[in-house]
A and B are shown apart, each in its own frame.
Chain A
């Protein structure tokens, strides 16, 4: 598979790292661009210094993401956008499970991507926003040797507990949008419970693979 689409997934790997990195100190009034920058740098710094992570300890990466990055994502929004029109048809219990399983899937994928992190530089774009804005896009560029820079866009919304990301676009590919068709197909053929089951078994499979490593 030598096509350019594949290049995208390399970017995904690179980008996911800093995608995770939308975390930081939960200061309510930290502007979103500063938040992204702080969290990215903090996470990268921890990874750079942690010998166990560099040796491939997936568990530690997952812990790091859960501690530093998760608090800055709104997984309910992400899941709602990915499930799209079927969201309204789900019961509260189903919604809860969907959010849980989707979150686990994203965290596992991210932590796996982190191991692909190499020699990249981050260019944090200053955000021009009005004080009244409640929905912004924070732009980061990943600069890598011998390839064009990759844009990393965080769509963020203002919440009482600070700014939260509800989508990440890596090289123009929205994570939320990319799951939308998959989710819609699953719901159409096997229903919402079927989708939950698919996500759960995907997560179990990944967990088993991580154990083996």
Chain B
């Protein structure tokens, strides 16, 4: 399946995404990303609530309200400008937070890397996705396709990096994916691993939410007013 995805990407998806990236002004590409990102925020908030993080959920929904009303249906991301940071949540992460283990690693056609638990989460994500429930069907299809191309275009540099960094792309990608999911489930502060052990195989039974992970030193989760952080413009 991995090979199939690679071939599909090489033959169709990557060329289309490259053309998209090279032909459209950057501001348009950002607008497209923001538009879809705004729709995602609705269920990111739901998942934060399900994970017992009402403050984050409120922040997510405030983002949706602000960006929809003042950001031209989400084309502009005003909320980030005023310090309401975007979060990354989905139903797979919520299950993980509740103590469900990864299960086996899976690669789906087109959708790519996943695990058994995340596949179950993904099914719910797709069910509730406002895009998939949009009518008429023709418009819906165009929206889904645009979102897909926009995402792939955003990742062009990154996928080139994967080519360059990995000895074995399949293994590199799998391990990175599993590490990434584990980090996301714990909102950036997973319990520390032993330095020499294999971190992934032991992961199948991610322990239930450690109460202490919420208070880990210095781990930012909620939006932090920019003034409190030493922010430096990196240009």
Interface residues of A (CB under 8 A from B): 1-13, 16, 37, 40-41, 44, 48, 81, 84-85, 105, 108-109, 112-113, 115-116, 119-128, 139, 141, 143, 145-149, 151, 169, 171-174, 177-182, 184-186, 198-199, 202, 206
Contacts and interface: CB of A to CB of B under 8 A. Distances in A.
Nearest to B196: A84
A173 B183 CA distance: 8
A149 B180 contact: no
B188 interface: yes
B165 interface: yes
Interface string B28-57: 001001100100000000000000000000
Interface string B73-90: 000010010000111101
Given A1-B159, A121-B234, 13 more contacts: A1-B9, A3-B108, A5-B173, A10-B158, A112-B164, A113-B157, A116-B158, A121-B233, A122-B234, A123-B231, A145-B30, A172-B190, A184-B198
A46 to B, nearest CB: 12
Contact of B177 (A2, A5, A112, A179): A5
A79 B5 CA distance: 32
B126 interface: no
Interface residues of B, number: 68
A177 B177 CA distance: 12
B143 interface: no
B164 A1 contact: no
12 contacts: A1-B5, A2-B152, A9-B159, A12-B162, A121-B231, A123-B231, A124-B229, A128-B217, A141-B229, A146-B77, A148-B88, A184-B198
A94 B127 CA distance: 53
Contacts of A149: 85-86, 220
A172 B190 CA distance: 8
Interface of B: 5-6, 9, 13, 30, 33-34, 37, 77, 80, 85-88, 90, 108, 110-114, 148, 151-152, 154-155, 157-162, 164-168, 171-173, 175-177, 179-180, 182-184, 188, 190, 193, 195-196, 198-200, 217-220, 226, 229-235
Nearest to B112: A3
A182 B179 contact: no
B176 A1 contact: no
Nearest to B118: A4
Listed residue (B13, B90, B183) with the most chain A CB atoms within 10 angstroms of its CB: B183
By DSSP majority rule, is chain A's interface helix, strand, loop, or mixed?
A: helix
A77 to B, nearest CB: 10
B234 A41 contact: yes
B112 A5 contact: yes
A125 to B, nearest CB: 6
A13 B161 contact: yes
Closest 7 pairs between A and B when the two form their complex, measured CB to CB: A172-B183, A3-B112, A9-B158, A10-B158, A116-B157, A5-B177, A5-B113
A1 B231 contact: no
A45 B177 CA distance: 32
A58 to B, nearest CB: 11
Contact of A109 (B9, B30, B161, B196): B161
A151 B193 CA distance: 18
A4 B92 CA distance: 12
Contacts of B164: 108-109, 112, 206
B184 A9 contact: no
A4 B199 CA distance: 20
Nearest to A195: B167
Contacts of B229: 123-125, 141
A125 B218 contact: yes
A186 B158 contact: no
Contact of A2 (B110, B184, B190, B233): B110
B180 A2 contact: no
Nearest to B86: A148
Nearest to B160: A112
Listed residue (B90, B162, B182) with the most chain A CB atoms within 10 angstroms of its CB: B162
Contact of B171 (A4, A13, A109, A185): A185
